[in-house]
Amino acid sequence: MTAEEYWNHNVHYHPVVLDAVPHGCRAALDVGCGDGLLAAKLAARAESVTGVDRSAEMIRKARKRDVGNVTLVEGDYLDGAALDEEGYDFVSAVAVIHHAPFDDAIDRLVGLLAPGGRLVVVGLAHNHTLLDWVISGCGVPASLLTARRHGGKRGPADMPVEDPIMTWREVRQSTAHLLPGRRFRRRLLWRYTLVWDKPV
């Protein structure tokens, strides 16, 4: 792990995102790119990558990575932010969509995705049932062991953070309705992953 890399619960699921990039991907978009760590990784899998984030500080940090085929945009993906409608073969959103009204966020991500393109979301939800709390509790030892193996849990300073307001069940139901055929999986380290292919 280089000085520009680190481990936390979001980064832990970057391999899931990268494995989902379609072969021959021309244009990828990382929504809520933060300091550009995932965008830099995507640059090895796509001809061009756009990272967008509304935090000026995060974009400043991302530009320090200086990856040739990555373009960084400061702005909010929900209001346009100079993004191409249906312009991306692959769209990723890691720990992002709970920062906005859920349906609006999903609709916008779908609008940015080209026909036949793939959307990958790594998201958060909150515990509501006893089973939710039991499953979350199982993540504690796994998190501690994995963090130790990676030298601790850390991430960029000043990263905007918000708590999710939707429960696991609500997210599962909403995504099934909004994204028919999506592949949804609740993960051990307090995240879910969602993969969806847009019809041609």
**pLDDT, tens digit, 9 for 90 and up, residues 73-124:** 999 999 876 899 999 999 999 999 999 999 999 999 999 999 999 999 999 9
Tens digits of residue pLDDT in 23-40: 999 999 999 999 999 999
| β partners of residue 123 | 192
Residue 196 has pLDDT above 50, yes or no: yes
Q: Tell me the CA end-to-end span of the chain in Å, nearest whole number.
A: 39
Report which of residues 158 and 180 the model is more confident about. Answer: 180
Q: How confident is the model at residue 1 (pLDDT cuts 50, 70, 90)?
A: very low
Any idea of the CA torsion for 142, 145, 150, 152, to the nearest 10 degrees? 100
Q: How far is CA 114 from CA 121, 150, 170, in A?
A: 16, 36, 27
Residue 2 has pLDDT above 80, yes or no: no
Find the length of the chain: 200
Q: pTM of the entire structure?
A: 0.94
Is residue 76 exposed (0-12), middle (13-18) or buried (19+ Cβ within 10 Å)?
A: middle
pLDDT tens track for 120-153: 999 999 999 999 999 999 999 999 999 999 989 8
* Spatial separation of the C-alpha atoms in residues 148 and 5, rounded to whole Å: 15
- H-run or E-run covering 115: strand 113-123
Q: Is the pLDDT of residue 3 over 50?
A: no
Q: How far apart are CA 144 and CA 147, in angstroms?
A: 5
- pLDDT tens digits for 158-172? 777 888 999 999 999
> 111, exposed or middle or buried, with CB in 10 Å at 0-12, 13-18, 19+?
middle
Give the pLDDT score at 81.
66
The radius of gyration computed from the CA coordinates of the chain, to the nearest angstrom, equals 16
In percent, how much of the chain has pLDDT > 90? 88
